Amino acid sequence: MNSGRKSPLPARRPGLALFALVLAGCATLGGDVEDAKRSWHGARYEEVVLRWGEPARHATLADGRDNYTWVSEGTSGVFPGSVIVFGGSGGAGVGAVFGLPGMGGGEPQRCERTLTFKDGRVVEQTWLGQTAFCSQFRKE
């Protein structure tokens, strides 16, 4: 039966649900750097050079292990997104604005990967940079 009363839930609830889904999606964008790092553990130096080219830097550690550093730079190809919250006397709303891939611009990206080799194989790694950019350097 309908008593003629309005629902106590405001009409903006579907918008808030959509907003929550958008935020959850943003949290999963990019990739997993830890997975990318794991993919290179135990790899031979020659495999890494074949995939990434010659390293930018090299140092031999006191214990005889070799540190090699690769640096990659680029742009995300996507303008950063924005979340907009607006309201007035008639209600409120939430909007999201996202850049589109391939539309130019974007934020500068950098990924610096230092791999430590012992007996010609990767034994330690340090990766510095944006997660989404660095995760693309996984071994496939």
Q: Give pLDDT tens digits for 98-139.
A: 555 555 567 899 999 999 999 999 999 999 999 999 999 999
Q: What percentage of the chain exceeds 70 in pLDDT?
A: 56
Is residue 121 included in any domain, yes or no? Answer: yes
Is residue 97 included in any domain, yes or no? Answer: no
Is residue 1 included in any domain, yes or no? Answer: no
Instruction: Calculate mean pLDDT across residues 72-98.
Output: 61
Is residue 12 included in any domain, yes or no? Answer: no
Q: Give pLDDT tens digits for 23-41.
A: 444 443 446 999 999 999 9
4: DSSP letter: S
Among 62-71, 82-91, 99-108, the least confident range: 82-91
Q: Residue 110's domain spans which residues? A: 33-73+106-140
Residue 109 CA, chain-centre distance (Å), reads: 10
Is residue 119 included in any domain, yes or no? Answer: yes
Q: State residue 22's pLDDT score.
A: 39
- Please compute Rg for the chain using Cα positions: 23
CATH number at residue 51: 3.30.1450
Is residue 16 included in any domain, yes or no? Answer: no
Domain count, the chain: 1
Is residue 138 included in any domain, yes or no? Answer: yes
Closest CA to 32 of 109, 111, 135, 112: 135
State the pTM of this model: 0.60
Q: Give pLDDT tens digits for 44-65.
A: 999 999 999 999 999 999 999 9
The residues, any chain, with a CB within 8 Å of residue 127's CB and separated by 6 or more, are 33, 36, 37, 111, 112, 113, 114, 134
Is residue 48 included in any domain, yes or no? Answer: yes
